[in-house]
Amino acid sequence: MPLPADYHTHTPLCRHAVGEPVAYAARAAALGLSEIGFSDHSPMRHNDFDDWRMRSGQLDEYVEKIRQTQRDVPGLTIRMALEVDYLPGQEEWIRELAARHPWDYFIGSVHYVSGGWDIDNPAKLSCWRERDAFEVWAEYFDWLTQAAASGLFEIIGHADLPKKFGFRPTRDCTPLFERFLSAAASTHTTIELNTAGLRKDCREIYPSRPLLELARDRGVAITFGSDAHRPEEVGMNFAEAVALARSVGFTQTARFERRQRQLVTL
Ligand code: ZN
Ligand code: FE
Ligand code: FE
Ligand code: ZN
């Protein structure tokens, strides 16, 4: 069986990834993938928001890089996307971004919780030690639920990102997952199996099997992403991700073109 599309990859424009898009595409082709999507960290309206994304003036350059890669690697289907940060209040900015280019899809990701804390930032690990894990997970999933309910995104990124460093609540998070997935189901938003978790302290694909089972129960569709920040990471651990999806009972995966969804057999 061919591997599914890798819909979550980055470029050096975000200032913490290496390798030109053509090297990512070449890696995808070498692995036998038929499709890849670039989904670099979208700009914020104000460039002083943080230092790990492209600047707003670089959006055209990003699009041109992807177009050039499409010309350089013609045998591969290459999608043009963004990984967009969802924070409450950003909806208008996200709509503006959507209108600027003919995107194939948006991945909506929550990296920030209140107080301007990006919970996956290794430089801010100490924040995890000062906070109650359940409180952080609850706040994160509240924003993730709002992201899914907004209908602004085709895919929700790494849905249980708070597990990255291993700070897991002792309380049951099932109600948080259920609320999020019901919102995703109501807007036909998909979730991704993101293999980057296997390369982090949690040593697990995002999201966990229990969350995937609840997604399956609600008819929420899936995509696959490596979250590659270097060319060697493209398609990494995809066989494992596909095996997990199949074992949960998923038989299809979603593809996107110009923000239209198509389900294909997994
Ligand atoms: Zn990144
Ligand atoms: Fe992310
Ligand atoms: Fe990413
Ligand atoms: Zn990511």
pLDDT of residue 16: 97
pLDDT of residue 94: 98
pLDDT of residue 206: 98
- Residues with Cβ–ion distance below 5 A, ligand 2: 109
pLDDT tens digits, one per residue of 222-252: 999 999 999 999 999 999 999 999 999 999 9
Gap from CA of 109 to ligand 3 centroid (Å): 8
- Structural element, H or E, at residue 263: strand 260-265
If phi > 0 it is left, if psi is from -120 to 50 it is alpha, else beta; for residue 6 that is beta
Tell me how far apart the alpha carbons of residues 115 and 102 are, in angstroms, rounded to a whole number. 33
Gap from CA of 155 to ligand 4 centroid (Å): 12
Gap from CA of 83 to ligand 1 centroid (Å): 9
Tell me how far apart the alpha carbons of residues 251 and 58 are, in angstroms, rounded to a whole number. 38
pLDDT of residue 2: 83
**Percent of the chain residues past pLDDT 90, beyond the cut:** 99
Gap from CA of 13 to ligand 2 centroid (Å): 15
pLDDT tens digits, one per residue of 7-56: 999 999 999 999 999 999 999 999 999 999 999 999 999 999 999 999 99
Q: Taking a C-beta distance cutoff of 8 angstroms, is the pair 266, 246 a contact?
A: yes
CA nearest to 256, candidates 196, 204, 188: 188
Gap from CA of 226 to ligand 3 centroid (Å): 8
CA nearest to 206, candidates 115, 110, 122, 121: 110
Q: Round the average pLDDT of the chain to a whole number and report it.
A: 98
Confidence class of residue 1 from pLDDT cuts 50, 70 and 90? Answer: low
Indicate if the pLDDT at residue 118 is higher than 80: yes
Confidence class of residue 160 from pLDDT cuts 50, 70 and 90? Answer: very high
Indicate if the pLDDT at residue 221 is higher than 80: yes
pTM: 0.98
Indicate if the pLDDT at residue 69 is higher than 90: yes
pLDDT of residue 97: 98
pLDDT of residue 201: 97
Indicate if the pLDDT at residue 261 is higher than 80: yes
Indicate if the pLDDT at residue 191 is higher than 80: yes
Starting from the CA of residue 85, give the closest ligand.
2
Strands 105-109 and 117-118: unpaired
| 3-state SS assignment for residue 169 | coil
Q: In degrees rounded to 5, what are phi and psi of residue 36? A: -140, 150
β strands within the chain, DSSP E: 35-41, 77-85, 105-109, 112-113, 117-118, 155-156, 190-194, 222-225, 252-257, 260-265
Gap from CA of 8 to ligand 3 centroid (Å): 6
Gap from CA of 112 to ligand 2 centroid (Å): 10
Domain ranges of the chain: 12-265
Tell me how far apart the alpha carbons of residues 83 and 105 are, in angstroms, rounded to a whole number. 9
Question: Domain 12-265 is in which class?
Answer: alpha beta
Gap from CA of 83 to ligand 2 centroid (Å): 7
pLDDT of residue 142: 98
Gap from CA of 181 to ligand 1 centroid (Å): 24
